[in-house]
Amino acid sequence: MRYPNGRQKRSSLTQSNRKAPIRYGNRGMTLEEDINETNDFYLATNKAVIHKKPTPVQIVKVDYPSRSAAVIKEAYFKQPSTTDYNGVYNGKYIDFEAKETSNKTSFPLNNIHEHQIYHMKQVTAQQGLSFLIIRFTYHNETYFFPAERLFFHWQQKENGGRKSISYENVKEEGILIPIQYQARVDYLSAMNQYFV
């Protein structure tokens, strides 16, 4: 607690009784960081050219406190984003979404939006390769999950079925991607297993 003079009230708790502060920064970013590092490795080794798509934003209000420092005060998404990543691998177009969940037993389908499903269906209709990368943080496991299986579970949800994909189904229908040193999330190896 801070008093009006700016001094902080001393707590009667000793340092050893205090809990460490909870840090909320960068939650959900580890999978994205791992994929970005993997994509950098793929690019450096001429294996594939895959990038994270920028989200289109409309800037509405900017403050200019000085000539060299502009601060965006208000901005809106121009349109719903499609998927997280796209690129080219062995002459094939690749388009995928990456999601993390702390849920132990299932992947909630509300993590995916209808316009993303529509986009992924358009990609597969053109013989592009579309899929999900799902990380279960509780199990510390990452899976390649094909779009066709996602479409099946999405349709079940739309027809009043489960609103999630069980962890067991992800294990059975997907391919485990082991964490590695250079290609942290070597999803191309898993993709090659599926698209033989």
Binding site membership: which residues?
82, 84, 97, 116
At 170 the three-state DSSP class reads helix
Q: Please check whether residue 117 is in contact with residue 154, taking contact to mean a CB–CB distance below 8 angstroms.
A: yes
Binding residues for Mg(2+): 82, 84, 97, 116
Name residue 63's beta-bridge partners.
71
- Token digits for 37? 């590092």
DSSP state for residue 39 in the 8-state scheme:
H
What DSSP letter does each residue of 59-107 carry, written as one string?
Answer: EEEEEEEETTEEEEEEEEESS----SEEEEETTEEEEEEEEEE--SSEE
Q: Which helix (DSSP H) or strand (DSSP E) does residue 131 occupy?
A: strand 129-136
